[in-house]
Amino acid sequence: MAAIQKQKQQATAIPDYIDAAAESASNSTWAIVPRSTTSLDEGWHHFTYADFARAVNNMSRWIEKTCGVAKQAGQTIGYMGANDLRYLVVLAAALKTGYVPLFTSPRNSLEGQKSLVEKTACTIFLSTVETMPQVEVIKDAVPSLQVYQAPATAELLDSSLPAEHYKGRHSRDVTAPSLILHTSGSTGLPKPIHLTVGGLNSAYEQAQLGPEDGVEQVSKPFLADTRPMLAAVPFFHAMGIIVGLRSLMNRGTLVRLPSEKMLSAGLVMDVIEAVKPTSGIFPPSVLEDISATPQGIEALGMLETVFFGGAPLASESGNKICRVTNLMTVIGSTEALLIPTIVPSVPEEWSYFHWSSAAGVFMEPAENDLFELIIKPRDTKYQAIFHTFPTIQEWRTKDLFRRHPSKPYLWKYTGRRDDIIVLSNGEKFNPVLSEKLLESHPWVKGALVVGQGKFQAGLLIEPEWSQANTQDPSALIDHIWPMVEQANREAPAHARIYQTKIAVAKDGKSFIRAAKGSIIRLQTVAAFKDEIEALYADEGYSSDPNQEADGDVALESKIHAVFSRALPSFQNDTPDDVDVFSLGVDSLDVLALTNALNKAVRGAGVTASTVYSNPTVKQLAAALSHSASKSNVQHAPPPTREEKLSAMVRKYTRTMVRPKNMNGLPNRPTKQTVILTGSTGSLGSHILEQLLRNPDVEKVYCLNRSDNAETRQKESFTKYHHPMADFNKAVFYKTDFGVDHFGLQDATYKHLLLTATTFIHSAWSVDFNLSLESYENTHIAGTARAINFALESQYKTPIIFISSIASVGSWGSVAQDDSGVPESNTTLFDSTITLPQGYGESKHVAAEILATASHRLGIKTAIVRAGQLAGPSTQAGGAAWNRHEWLPTIVHTSKVMKKLPRTLGNMDRVDWVPMDIAAGTVIDIANATNSESESTQVYHLANPYTTTWNELYPVIRDYFRKEDNVGMDVVEYSDWVDELARIPQTKENAERVPGLKLLDFYESLGMESMGLPTLQTRRAEAASSTLRDGKAIDRLVVDKWLKQWAF
C-alpha cells in the first residue's frame, strides 16, 4: 500500500509560499498582464509578489466579511471566473479563510456543474462579472447555493490599499485538502478530484530534482526556471494550476493573455513580440495553428523553450518547431498533476517521453506492440497521485505508448485505451496518429475517426473555414484526400478510410473540446450522431448487381415459417417485427428454434445467442444475411452499445422539465401507503409480508401483471410465509406497465395519486438472454410511467428502484483498484461499467432515467443495486430460492451428473443476502429516503459478512449422500463445465439436465476477467439495521435450502 508517511514530507501550504515570497522577494515580478482585458494596446501591468500577497489578504478579508470563515475545516467554496490571476488569489484566500476551493470549468454542462456542486457539498459560490450569468444558472438548479460576485482584479491589486497581513486558518498537514478540480467528463459527468497539501507540493519538489545520467529533468526549465513564461492555459484546468504553482512556489514569472480575448495564433505571436518571454506552454492545437505560417515559426523561435501538453502535437508541426527552439512535451493529469520526465537528448525526439526515475513508471504490455503507463509508489513527495489516492498500490493511467525502435527508454504516446475503435468484425485500431496527421493540414481544425461497432472506419472533419478557400464539402474532401491517403498508408489495412466515408462538419457546428483544447471523443461522436449515421446509411444496400433483389424478403419468409412451426405462441399472421420474447418464449423454445433454423437455413450457424440478440424475424434475417455475405454486400450493423443505452435514456428524459409547484408539499401522513410492484416475486413477497406486519403501514397496493396475483399470493403465504398475515391491508390490481396509468381505471389511478407515500418498484423480468430492446416496452417505459406517477402524486412519492449488480458488472474494466463499486451517484451515468447483456443494460437505463428525473424534476429516488439474493434465512418463512436460478441449477445438475464443483469459478466469494434480510433492507432504505437531503441515493444490497463456496459445498455433498444415497465426486470447476458441455443440447436433455440452459453463463464463471465486482455497502449499512445486524451464509441455511428444493 502506497500510504503517505505520517511525518510531514513538506508542510508548506499555498498561502505560506506567497507570504514568504512577499517578505523575501517583494519586488520580484510575479505576473505580466495586459492592462486591457480585450487587447494589447494599453500596455502591461508588472505585478510583484508584494502585490500578490496584498491581493490575497484583501480577498481573504472580503471572503470573511461577505461569506464568513469556513464553518468547519475543509468546507467547499466554489469559484468560476474570467481566466485571469484571480484564480490564484482565490486559491490562496479561500485556504486562508478555512475553505477548500472548487474550480469548475465554464465549459461544463449544467448537469455537470450541478453534479460537482452537490458531490462536494458546495454551498457558497464566487464568480466574476464575466461568468455570473453561468453561475446564476447553476444557482437556479441548486437553489440553496449562495452566490457572490468577487472583487475586480484592480480592486484586489490596488497599491493604495493597506498591506495588512491576514493570518490564515489553513492546514499544513500534507493530507489536508487544498483544491478541488475535476475530470473532463468525457465519459459521463465530471468527477471531483481532491488535491492535498502534499499533492500540490509535488510541483515544488519536482523543481528540486537534479540531472539523471547528466541529463536535466524537464522540471528544470518548466518549473524551476523563474524567467517569464507565457501561459496560454486556463487556470481551472490542471495544467493551468501547475503553471500557477510554478509562480507561487518557485517564483517563476507568469505572462498572461488578455482574459476576454479569444486565444489565437495571431494573439500569441503579438504577445511574444511585445513581452519577449523566455518560454511558453500551449495547447497543441494552438501550436499547430502558429506553425502553419513562416511568421509563426519565427515567433516561436524567439522563445528559448516551447512546452505543450494535454494531447499529441501533429508530427509536421513539431518537426518544424524543433528546428528553431527547444520543443518539450509535458504529461500529467488532474489526479496526478505533473509526471516527471527527462529532457530530450536530441531535438528530433521531441515527441518521445523519457521517464524520470522519480516518476515510478512501469510500462505494462497492452494490445499489439503498445504499453500502458502504470505509476507505482517510489518517493511520494514527487508523486501527487499517491496523495490524491493515498491507499492505492498503483495508478493505471489508461494512456498507451509505443517504444522507440532503437532507444528502449523512449516512449511515444499513441492514445488512450478509451480511444481504441472496435469494428463490427472485431478488428481493433487506435486512430490517434491518423487524426493528428490530418490535423496538421492547414484546412483541418479537427479530425475524428469513427466506426465503433461499424463495418469500416469513417472520418469526421472539422474544417478551419478561415483557411479553406472553398465552402463546398466535396471540394474540401478532394483537397485533403492526399493527406488521408498518407494516413491510410501508415494505418492497419482494416483502419483505412475510404473517400465515401468522410463527413464534413457544417460551419458553426464545432467539435466538443476539453479545457486543454483536446477533442472529447465520446461527446463529439454523440453530438454528430446524425452525421455519422448518414455516413453509414448506405451499408444497408447491396453493391453487388448479381444479388437477387428479393433475397432478404425470401429469407424473412423462410424464417417466419420456421418461427411458426417451432414456437407455439408465434402464429402465421404474427408480424415480422414482433419481439418473440414478448410472446412468452422461454429458453427451451429457443433451443428448439435454433435447431429448426439450422436445419431450414443452410449454413446459418444460429446459436441461442443469435436469437436473443435478434428477437424478431426481420432482425434475424438481417443478421443471417450479413453473416452469410461474402461479396461487397454490407448491412448496417447496429449502433454501439453505449449509443443504444444513451439513446434510450434520452428518449425518456429529453422532455423532463421541473414543474413550478414543487415547493410547499402537504405534510406526509403518519402512516404509510405503499405501492409495491412485483409483489408475487421472491423479493416482492418478502417485502409484502414485512409491510403487512408493520404497524406504521396503513395500506399496500400490489401492482402485478397477472390476473390471479391475489389468489397466488394468499396461497403462497399460507404455504410458505406467515399464515396470519393481515391481507386486509393489501389491495391487488392487475396492471400493464406498457400502457399509461399502468392500465388502471381513472378513478383507481387518481386514488393512488392522492394516497401513496412510497413507491417500491420491484417488478422486472430476470432473463440474462433478452436484449435491451426486449425490456423497453414494459419495463423501461414502465419506469418512466412510475416517474410520471411520482411527479403527479400529492406527496411526490419517492421511488425505491430495485436494480442489480449486473448494471455495474463491468466495473473491473475501468476501476483503478479492487476496492469495489462505490455507492456513488456518478456510477449511474457511466454505461461502460454495465454488463453487456440486456438485463443489466435495462437496469442501468432505468436507474439513469430515475436519477435524471431526480435532478430535473425534484422527486426523490433510491437505487438499490442487489447482488445475489438467495433463499430465506433460517429464522424466516418464505418459498425456496428459485430452482431455475444459477446456483440451485448447479446443485440440481451436480446431482444428475454426480459431480460437484470444488469452486464456483469467479463467483467463489459468497456475499449472498437471504431474501427476508434483503426485504427488510429495502424497507429500511425506503424509510430513510424520505429524510435524505440528496434527491438520488445509491445503496448496495450485498452481504457485508462473507464466506466462500469451499465452506459450503460439503453440506451439499453430505446431504445427497444421506438423503438420496447419491455419491458425488468433487471436481475442479473447469472439469465440471466440460462434463456439462459434453451432453448433447436437445430439448429432452435440457429438461433432464437443467444446467444446459445456462451453459454459456457457467463457462463465463471460469474466466477470471468475467467475474462480478464487489459491492461496497457502507451507505446501505448506515441506512439499514437489518443489513447491519445480519450474518454470513452458513451451513444451516444451506441445509434449509436443500430441503426446500428437494431435487
Reply yes or no on whether the pLDDT at 662 is more than 60.
Answer: no
* φ, ψ of residue 611 in degrees (nearest 5): -70, -45
Reply yes or no on whether the pLDDT at 542 is more than 70.
Answer: no
Same domain, 301 and 377: yes
Mean pLDDT calculated for residue range 320-333:
93
Same domain, 286 and 434: no
CA 870 to chain centre: 30
β partners of residue 676: 702, 760
| Residue ending a domain, choose from 638, 659, 687 | 638
Q: From CA 506, how far away is CA 501, in angstroms rounded?
A: 16
Residues 6+ apart with CB under 8 A from 186: 418, 514, 520, 521, 522, 523
Cell of 288: 499547430
Cell of 119: 458531490
Same domain, 986 and 1019: yes
- CATH code for the domain in which residue 445 is found: 3.30.300.30
Same domain, 210 and 113: no
**Taking a C-beta distance cutoff of 8 angstroms, is the pair 1006, 835 a contact?**
no
Residue 378, Cβ density class (10 Å: 0-12 exposed, 13-18 middle, ≥19 buried): middle
Q: From CA 247, how far away is CA 950, in angstroms rounded?
A: 59
Cell of 347: 531535438
DSSP state of 223: I
Q: From CA 241, how far away is CA 203, in angstroms rounded?
A: 10
Same domain, 1020 and 942: yes
Q: From CA 435, how far away is CA 240, in angstroms rounded?
A: 25
Helix, strand or coil for residue 604? coil
Please give the pLDDT value at position 223: 97
* φ, ψ of residue 46 in degrees (nearest 5): -115, 100
Helix, strand or coil for residue 1039? helix
Q: What is the dihedral of CA 1001, 1005, 1010, 1014, to 10 degrees?
A: 110
Reply yes or no on whether the pLDDT at 55 is more than 60.
Answer: yes
Reply yes or no on whether the pLDDT at 493 is more than 70.
Answer: no
Please name the helix (run of DSSP H) or strand (run of DSSP E) that holds residue 34, with its range, or none: strand 29-34
Same domain, 222 and 179: no
CA 321 to chain centre: 37
Same domain, 83 and 135: yes
* φ, ψ of residue 400 in degrees (nearest 5): -110, 140
Percentage helix, strand, coil for the chain under 3-state DSSP, each rounded to 5: 40, 15, 40
| Residue ending a domain, choose from 513, 540, 567 | 540
Q: From CA 16, how far away is CA 22, in angstroms rounded?
A: 10
- CATH code for the domain in which residue 557 is found: 1.10.1200.10
**Taking a C-beta distance cutoff of 8 angstroms, is the pair 381, 369 a contact?**
no
Helix, strand or coil for residue 373? strand
If you count DSSP H runs as helices and E runs as strands, how many of each does the chain have, helices first?
39, 38
Cell of 94: 479561500
* φ, ψ of residue 301 in degrees (nearest 5): -65, -15
Cell of 701: 397496493
The answer to which of 8-12, 90-94, 347-351, 961-965 has the lowest mean pLDDT is 8-12
Q: Is 225 part of any domain?
A: yes
Q: Is 835 part of any domain?
A: yes
Please give the pLDDT value at position 1010: 64
DSSP string, 430-466: --HHHHHHHHTSTTEEEEEEE-TTSSS-EEEEEE-TT
Q: Which of 890, 919, 888 is nearest to 1026 (CA)?
A: 919
End-to-end CA distance of the chain: 47
Same domain, 922 and 1005: yes
Residues 6+ apart with CB under 8 A from 89: 52, 55, 56, 59, 156
Q: Is 76 part of any domain?
A: yes
Higher-scoring residue by pLDDT: 574, 1040: 1040
Q: Is 650 part of any domain?
A: no
Q: From CA 76, how far away is CA 122, in angstroms rounded?
A: 5
DSSP string, 681-727: SHHHHHHHHHHHT-TTEEEEEEEESSTTHHHHHHHHHHHTS-TT--G
Report pLDDT digits (tens) over 268-300: 999 998 888 999 999 887 898 899 888 899 899
Same domain, 172 and 205: no
Mean pLDDT calculated for residue range 902-915:
92
Same domain, 718 and 866: yes
Report pLDDT digits (tens) over 31-44: 999 988 888 888 88
Please give the pLDDT value at position 543: 29
**Taking a C-beta distance cutoff of 8 angstroms, is the pair 677, 683 a contact?**
no
Q: Is 79 part of any domain?
A: yes
Please give the pLDDT value at position 658: 57
Reply yes or no on whether the pLDDT at 796 is more than 60.
Answer: yes
Q: Which of 948, 946, 942, 907 is nearest to 1016 (CA)?
A: 942
Reply yes or no on whether the pLDDT at 536 is more than 80.
Answer: no
The answer to which of 186-200, 626-640, 917-931 has the lowest mean pLDDT is 626-640
Cell of 610: 443469435
Number of domains composing the chain: 5
> Pairing between strand 254-255 and 969-971?
unpaired
**pLDDT band at residue 9 under the 50/70/90 scheme:** low
Same domain, 486 and 602: no
Reply yes or no on whether the pLDDT at 637 is more than 70.
Answer: no
Helix, strand or coil for residue 969? strand
Residue the block writes with cell 469459478: 905
Please give the pLDDT value at position 631: 33
- CATH code for the domain in which residue 110 is found: 3.40.50.12780
CA 59 to chain centre: 37
Q: From CA 370, how far away is CA 376, in angstroms rounded?
A: 19
Distances (CA, A) of 500 to 174, 426, 638, 790, 936: 57, 22, 20, 49, 46
β partners of residue 865: 803, 940
**pLDDT band at residue 852 under the 50/70/90 scheme:** confident
- CATH code for the domain in which residue 731 is found: 3.40.50.720
- Percent of the chain at pLDDT > 70 equals 91
> Left if phi > 0, otherwise alpha if psi is -120 to 50, otherwise beta: which for 513?
beta
> Pairing between strand 29-34 and 44-48?
antiparallel
**Taking a C-beta distance cutoff of 8 angstroms, is the pair 217, 260 a contact?**
no
Residue the block writes with cell 503579438: 270
Distances (CA, A) of 706 to 52, 132, 729, 735, 968: 73, 55, 20, 8, 40
Q: Is 489 part of any domain?
A: yes
Q: Is 331 part of any domain?
A: yes
Same domain, 66 and 211: no
Full-model pTM:
0.50
The parent domain of residue 496 ranges over: 420-540
Q: Is 661 part of any domain?
A: no
Q: From CA 172, how far away is CA 95, in angstroms rounded?
A: 10
**Taking a C-beta distance cutoff of 8 angstroms, is the pair 85, 33 a contact?**
yes
Q: From CA 759, how far away is CA 762, in angstroms rounded?
A: 9
Helices 781-792, 641-653: axis angle to 10 degrees equals 30
Distances (CA, A) of 309 to 285, 321, 327, 344, 382: 10, 15, 11, 15, 19
Reply yes or no on whether the pLDDT at 1035 is more than 60.
Answer: yes
The answer to which of 366-370, 473-477, 800-804 has the lowest mean pLDDT is 366-370
Cell of 378: 517510489
* φ, ψ of residue 461 in degrees (nearest 5): -115, 125
Q: From CA 824, how far away is CA 1019, in angstroms rounded?
A: 9
The answer to which of 657-671, 930-944, 1021-1035 has the lowest mean pLDDT is 657-671
* φ, ψ of residue 815 in degrees (nearest 5): -70, 150
| Residue ending a domain, choose from 172, 196, 220 | 196
**pLDDT band at residue 829 under the 50/70/90 scheme:** confident
Q: What is the dihedral of CA 364, 368, 370, 372, to 10 degrees?
A: -40
